[in-house]
Structure 1
């Protein structure tokens, strides 16, 4: 123990690097040699009130580190070691850390963090559930001192924040009892009340059952609302944060509190001269708007399906509009005088809230906000001048097109003139507002009389400060998209391209200006270089046929730049310089993708050699340099596009490219690189068809190995499964040699394609992607096998599993998109065509008939067409069976 105390002290106070390293080595060896004893001794030091505070803190930190880790593999190892430790030792450690709560001096409590770490391991296994009751008693007991109450509440807050286990939710009553006790007005310690309110913030997601009970809900709302009136500023902010979160989680319960409490509390907060308080008042109404927008779309969907929505909007935003809008506009004019201040301030929050209010209240906001805009648009005070422009830009999404056109018609030319205002913030906001005008009113901004003034003004802005120039890039992006869309509405060729558009005369100048912008020495500020290249990509993507010569020249310019960047890299010494060069390489590769998609096939053959040479230089360098995975993925994406436009002509590059493609497929640690490599294989399949057969054994083996690796990120595997379909379509009947192995993996994915928690959006997206790619894979395999009797015979044994997947989609209702449902129905039709009466009992079921009906009634033309066709096939099957 004495030796442990010495080394713990050295980790904190020693100024000698060697001593510190020796101390850390000793502690690591102690943990490895006798984990249980090391944990026990650390807990004893932590609980020893006679020990120096910094030594106790060091012991607690070491104990937490052997229990908790952010890195998944280390966390799993820590958990296993703790659970394998004898129950007696574990109990001693738990008793000691609990005992330390009342004697710690430092804040935040390290003992509370250790309790959370142990609970995080044990509670999911149904162990140590009593810790929550112990902590509650520590808080509510009249004999508990301030430290014990504060640290116990901190531990409860950590547990609510970090541990997702039924054992925690089942103890919500005990948790809330402790938290409410700590938040009450007669709690003498402000620190305790702050910690309790923080714990409430962390606990709110666990209290659904409590909020469903009106009496318990009233208690929670009462204590939170009372705490918003506390004299302590930090405590008020915490309580307001609770209200902001409550209104998002429990909107449907707020009617009883809105008029009598929430409205007045949040409006008073918005008026507060304290920024942190005002921010929470504004955030409350932003959250109200977001909830009501979500409910609006849910109500629309419910009406279309002929059912009642689960929760309806109370239209709080519309009712409060006339009261809160003047406060938001006043706040909008309280910008910081510092031009480079990136802090989140009430003025910025007010702008976001006004945008959300406009989407919620639509035309209603225009008549209320217009007087402010008209009064201050030419104000001598730049704060109000900028606020008027910001207000104008903030309401362009929501009102009807007729109202918007009337609003923009009279303001557009004066707005363009503000791009040359003497104040930086006004030029910046004006450029941002014009980009929104271009998105909202494309017919107005593309009139020749407007473009004569607008385009030179935006070109001029590209030479201004980086943040102004970046917004000018976004405005140009929006403008070219608007011009291209208008031109397409006038008529296109068979490829969907218009002959010309209103920006053709300035197209070469626009390319030159944007490229010059990316070359500015200050282009790394305000993400200007990124904005410039993204605007250039939009310009290329939205270019008509008469600008093709400039698009082709841009390819040459981008290639030249890429080669210059590659030649610079060897001479760069600092990590920062290399990082900037890698970002530039990524942008250039992405720009190449946009340009290549516009290049004609005959031109692609001429420029393919220098393009592939440059891309291979990028790929070969990135393959050996750490932290270059993003550039490597962008280069592989560019290769994919080159394969698309080159077709079989890409064969001349395969010998040199193949080793790098294989290396990318084997790079399981970086999901973007893996995903890009899978995309390259798909594109090779589309271009080479069965000529790719000699390489397929190796590619399929690598894909199967990837699917078999449990450490590969979830988002990669659906793409690998979908790639089997591309391989099948390329090889046709020759795919039979891979049939059994690949279908087995597809079947395993079908088993995994279950949604266990519909509220977990990440899980829903993953399962949706899994289902979509499995269906695509099966569909392609069916089409590949249909002319091969042996293949059809082999495939027949897998039909029940395919139908299982279709049924899963059918039973998932609206969780599955129209696209996935249409694909599932298409597979139904293919299976009926191929197997006929042999599968009638499998496909003529209530879920599949319901899916067919939904697709026939879908707004999606593809879903409707496929649903009608598959329904006809099934009806024919029934008739022929009856005969």
Structure 2
């Protein structure tokens, strides 16, 4: 132990060589004799004779060999702990419990070690009595302040980190300890704060307690009392509890709203301490979000002809006259240099936005006096607050009221782009962008644009923060103009012939390119905003701006060439990172341009485009490319889409980079982009890709076999089988059995074991979607009579996946259900009468019926087509 103490001292010595040697020693000790290593660490942690920083170092080392962020390492650590002899584990557990309350530093490292051990043992229903021990530590009158505090910290960590039925079953003793520690009679602020933090982490576990009125009253009482504590951090944390409760248990809050929650949160909103005011505002933002969700649920229930499960109590509407004056006054408390700081003024703007969506027309009359009174105020704080208030209410009121409001405000608002204060100009541009999003017809009037366009061009040369919002406003304006023109008529490609911005389109492109070249364009993300606006401008361009779009391609290529030429001369990591960002932006801009290009015009510029992209990819292979490789591959995808089979002339040069992308497991985004390129090649080349397919298939199978590949990549590889099958047709038989094995295994693994685990549901959805895409492609490829025999052995497995989707109900998205309906139709068309008995089951028929009634166009169309196919086959019989 004495040797271990000396080593632990060196880990915090501040001498780099000593630290490195000490950490290496500890690593070897853990490898050579893990049981003894853990025991000795726990002994040092529990030793009150040892200096505090060495004890803390021992606790840190102990925790670090038990917990990890990466799933694979976490699993290894878990198995290693459980494999230890029971007596070793018992000694370690006793020591970490014994260390509680004896530490002289905060927070308790022993509490963190208890959490680490419990996180493993609770999964196996072991060491559950640790919660009873911790509860006893808190409720025992003879316990010291430190023992109570550290025990509560341990309970808080457990509630935060451990997801297990075991901890849910222990909700009552956990709550007993927390409520005891939170009482206003508790003399120690440290204990009370630890208890309040633990309550914040425990709220998800208390569903059953909240359903019991008596228990709910006790919980609400201690939290509400804690919001009045003299210690400001206890008040802040207690208010955070109320914010969270409003999201979790809205339907139980009616009896507390008027007597407690309303006065407590209104008082908090007025508080001079930012942290307290922020929580008061956040509470009402949460109320709005819950009531917006309830309104959406009520609308959905009405459409289905059923009663909603929960109803809105319209607290936001009732509180509006009381909280709106506080919020508008809070808007005026902004600082000049608070751009990156979350302050009450910003939170108030968000809350007003949500209130507008929640209360709709009701907010206009109440906020308008503040806006009109302060729009021209001599104090810039009030001018900016008035404009912020105006911009914040644009989403919510009815079209008629909004139209009147904007019509009165638009010209004065354009005038404020010349304001003396940058914050006022910044917010004014943002508000104009919001108007473009909500009132396209008003902002695109010639008389409005006559003032607006020159004002935006001038503002583009102002401070980066202002110019950033101008870029966004130009994007919104381009979308609005395109939308208005498209409503008046489009050609067969869905493009309008012209629009209101055509005469200034060239100038807008020029001004944005100048903005991206500004010497201060790295500030406030201005360069990124400039290129994003340029992309939106190109995307939303009518036919008569096509020549400018073509010209923009040449400008982008020239910039790309310049960047490639200077890359070798850059030395600093910062300069290289900025260059990579710029290359990514130029690749993304090329994507936008290529989407607009006419097929017949592409061959004239494809050589320089491909040369530039190949050069970029050459420099990225095997290096950390900061997203450049991904953007270059996506740009290639656009080139393939527009060139079709003519892209074949670049395949010899491009194929090595595509293959390198497919095996780039360390960068999942690059791997995904490469899979996307392969899918597009299949669509473009069709059967002509067959000679290359053995190599590509081998790489796809390696993705599926490799255990280090991020799991979200693998579904895309499975979906790619469908694109390959459609391209190859009957030739796909060569790969049929291998791909079917992978698809069937993946489909059977696509199970939802925990309906509350959002990550799991999203992953299963992704996996099922791509399995269905793979199956659909294969069915269509082998539809011919000669290949039908190859397909039949696999039909039952496909229908099992469809059945799983149908039985998942609301856990399956409409998009996934639509794809499943489409696969049914393809199977019925291909196989005919023999398949009817296995697809005409109650779950599948109910899914078809639901999709036929859907507002989702894809679901409705596919379900109707599938139903017709089933009827057609039945008639033939």
How far apart, CA to CA, are the structure 2 residues paired with 1:455 and 1:37? 74
How far apart, CA to CA, are the structure 1 residues paired with 2:411 and 2:758? 44
- Residue 167 of structure 1 and its aligned partner are, at CA, apart by 1.1
Name the residue aligned to 1:673: 670
- Residue 457 of structure 1 and its aligned partner are, at CA, apart by 0.6
Name the residue aligned to 1:303: 302
SS in structure 1 of the partner of residue 494 of structure 2 = coil
SS in structure 2 of the partner of residue 104 of structure 1 = coil
SS in structure 1 of the partner of residue 826 of structure 2 = helix
How far apart, CA to CA, are the structure 2 residues paired with 1:683 and 1:35? 52
Name the residue aligned to 2:632: 635
Out of 438-447 and 717-726, give the one that drifted further.
717-726
Change (3 A) 1:769 1:21: closer
Map 1:34-433 onto structure 2 (within 5 A). 34-336=33-335, 338-433=336-431
User: Conserved in 1, the CA contact under 8 Å of 2:581 and 2:626?
Assistant: no
SS in structure 2 of the partner of residue 431 of structure 1 = helix
User: Conserved in 1, the CA contact under 8 Å of 2:471 and 2:530?
Assistant: yes
Change (3 A) 1:651 1:392: same
How far apart, CA to CA, are the structure 2 residues paired with 1:352 and 1:858? 33
Name the residue aligned to 1:859: 855
- Residue 761 of structure 1 and its aligned partner are, at CA, apart by 2.9
1:765 to 743, 762, 775: 762
How far apart, CA to CA, are the structure 1 residues paired with 2:227 and 2:316? 21
Change (3 A) 1:8 1:861: closer
- Residue 855 of structure 1 and its aligned partner are, at CA, apart by 2.2
Change (3 A) 1:815 1:36: closer
2:490 to 489, 492, 508: 492
Name the residue aligned to 1:510: 508
Deviations 1:329-380 (A, max 9, x none): 11111112x3354211100000000000001011111111111111111111
Deviations 1:810-842 (A, max 9, x none): 223333333322222222222222222211211
Name the residue aligned to 1:20: 19
Change (3 A) 1:376 1:27: same
Name the residue aligned to 2:11: 11
Out of 751-760 and 164-173, give the one that drifted further.
751-760
Name the residue aligned to 1:796: 792
How far apart, CA to CA, are the structure 2 residues paired with 1:397 and 1:71? 41
How far apart, CA to CA, are the structure 2 residues paired with 1:357 and 1:17? 55
- Residue 74 of structure 1 and its aligned partner are, at CA, apart by 3.2
Name the residue aligned to 1:814: 810
SS in structure 2 of the partner of residue 643 of structure 1 = helix
User: Conserved in 2, the CA contact under 8 Å of 1:470 and 1:531?
Assistant: yes
- Residue 102 of structure 1 and its aligned partner are, at CA, apart by 2.0
> In the alignment, is residue 622 of structure 1 matched against residue 620 of structure 2?
yes
User: Conserved in 2, the CA contact under 8 Å of 1:498 and 1:545?
Assistant: yes
- Residue 788 of structure 1 and its aligned partner are, at CA, apart by 4.6
- Residue 860 of structure 1 and its aligned partner are, at CA, apart by 3.0
Name the residue aligned to 1:656: 653
> In the alignment, is residue 870 of structure 1 matched against residue 866 of structure 2?
yes
Gaps of 5+ in 1: none
Deviations 1:563-590 (A, max 9, x none): 1112222111111111111111111111
Deviations 1:574-630 (A, max 9, x none): 11111111111111111110001111112211111111111111111111322x151
How far apart, CA to CA, are the structure 1 residues paired with 2:578 and 2:129? 53
RMSD: 1.3
- Residue 435 of structure 1 and its aligned partner are, at CA, apart by 0.3
Name the residue aligned to 2:553: 555
How far apart, CA to CA, are the structure 2 residues paired with 1:468 and 1:731? 53
- Residue 304 of structure 1 and its aligned partner are, at CA, apart by 1.3
- Residue 15 of structure 1 and its aligned partner are, at CA, apart by 4.2
How far apart, CA to CA, are the structure 2 residues paired with 1:386 and 1:629? 38
User: Conserved in 2, the CA contact under 8 Å of 1:682 and 1:726?
Assistant: yes
- Residue 301 of structure 1 and its aligned partner are, at CA, apart by 1.3
Change (3 A) 1:754 1:16: closer
TM-score (norm 2): 0.98
How far apart, CA to CA, are the structure 1 residues paired with 2:69 and 2:719? 32
How far apart, CA to CA, are the structure 2 residues paired with 1:59 and 1:582? 43
How far apart, CA to CA, are the structure 2 residues paired with 1:574 and 1:609? 32
How far apart, CA to CA, are the structure 1 residues paired with 2:622 and 2:738? 33
How far apart, CA to CA, are the structure 2 residues paired with 1:839 and 1:100? 67
How far apart, CA to CA, are the structure 2 residues paired with 1:432 and 1:186? 50
User: Conserved in 1, the CA contact under 8 Å of 2:580 and 2:626?
Assistant: no
How far apart, CA to CA, are the structure 2 residues paired with 1:507 and 1:591? 16
1:480 to 478, 481, 487: 478
How far apart, CA to CA, are the structure 1 residues paired with 2:23 and 2:812? 52
- Residue 68 of structure 1 and its aligned partner are, at CA, apart by 1.8
Deviations 1:671-708 (A, max 9, x none): 11111001100110111010000111111121122122
SS in structure 1 of the partner of residue 30 of structure 2 = helix
User: Conserved in 1, the CA contact under 8 Å of 2:433 and 2:473?
Assistant: yes
How far apart, CA to CA, are the structure 2 residues paired with 1:224 and 1:230? 10
SS in structure 1 of the partner of residue 571 of structure 2 = coil
User: Conserved in 1, the CA contact under 8 Å of 2:8 and 2:54?
Assistant: yes
How far apart, CA to CA, are the structure 2 residues paired with 1:64 and 1:809? 42
User: Conserved in 2, the CA contact under 8 Å of 1:629 and 1:672?
Assistant: no
1:439 to 426, 437, 445: 437
Deviations 1:648-675 (A, max 9, x none): 1111111111111111101122211111
How far apart, CA to CA, are the structure 1 residues paired with 2:853 and 2:497? 37
User: Conserved in 1, the CA contact under 8 Å of 2:821 and 2:863?
Assistant: yes
SS in structure 2 of the partner of residue 496 of structure 1 = coil
Name the residue aligned to 1:456: 454
How far apart, CA to CA, are the structure 1 residues paired with 2:858 and 2:38? 63
How far apart, CA to CA, are the structure 2 residues paired with 1:505 and 1:354? 38
- Residue 17 of structure 1 and its aligned partner are, at CA, apart by 2.5
How far apart, CA to CA, are the structure 1 residues paired with 2:734 and 2:626? 34
- Residue 223 of structure 1 and its aligned partner are, at CA, apart by 0.5
